[in-house]
């Protein structure tokens, strides 16, 4: 009798292991799908994200630099913007979701600063930086 049950038991075990493997694969695929989506900067439940005093001050300086350059000569200095951005990053003490939201904004901003520094289509980079400042004012207070 044991010999007749053994093959059935082996088939049952093989079936269970196969289902578990499929389940793990599906879970991995679902996780990969969820994490592959880029994070998008949004308001904090309809409210602007909060900034610490140092970040607010450095952003004020960045906005002033961009505004003055746009009105005066139309030429932005990528090096000067990079210095301001470096100070902002160095002095930032923010944590939590507000900090994470700032990084979502900061990534594209730094790319545009780098494009300006590298003289890669400076006109487009300048327009993008102006758009970055507008977006900043939309999402942060």
Which tens digits make up the pLDDT trace of 30-46? 434 444 456 899 999 99
- 3-state secondary structure at position 49: strand
Q: Are 15 and 74 within one domain?
A: no
Q: Are 97 and 58 within one domain?
A: yes
Contact 114, 104 (CB under 8 A): no
pLDDT at 87 over 60: yes
Q: Are 78 and 119 within one domain?
A: yes
| Percent residues over pLDDT 90 in the chain | 54
CB neighbour class for 132 (10 Å; exposed up to 12, middle 13-18, buried from 19): buried
Identify which has the larger pLDDT, 96 or 33. 96
Q: Are 60 and 91 within one domain?
A: yes
Q: Is residue 46 part of a domain?
A: no
CA distance 73 to 24: 60
The residue range of the domain holding 9 is 1-37
Candidate from 15-24, 31-40, 52-61, 64-73 with smallest mean pLDDT: 15-24
pLDDT given at position 122: 79
């Amino acid at each position: 009798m044991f010999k007749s049950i053994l093959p059935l038991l082996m088939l049952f075990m093989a079936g269970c292991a196969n289902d578990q493997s499929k389940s793990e694969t599906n879970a991995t695929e679902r996780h990969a799908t969820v994490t592959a989506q880029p994070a998008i900067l949004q308001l904090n439940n309809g409210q602007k994200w909060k900034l610490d005093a140092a970040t607010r001050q450095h952003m004020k300086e960045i906005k002033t630099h961009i505004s003055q350059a746009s009105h005066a000569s139309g030429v932005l200095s990528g090096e000067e913007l990079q210095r301001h951005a470096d100070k902002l990053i160095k002095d930032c003490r923010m944590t939590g979701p507000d900090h994470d939201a700032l990084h979502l904004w900061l990534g594209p901003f730094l790319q545009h600063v780098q494009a300006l520094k590298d003289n890669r289509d400076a006109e487009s980079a300048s327009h993008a930086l102006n758009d970055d400042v507008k977006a900043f004012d939309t999402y942060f207070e």
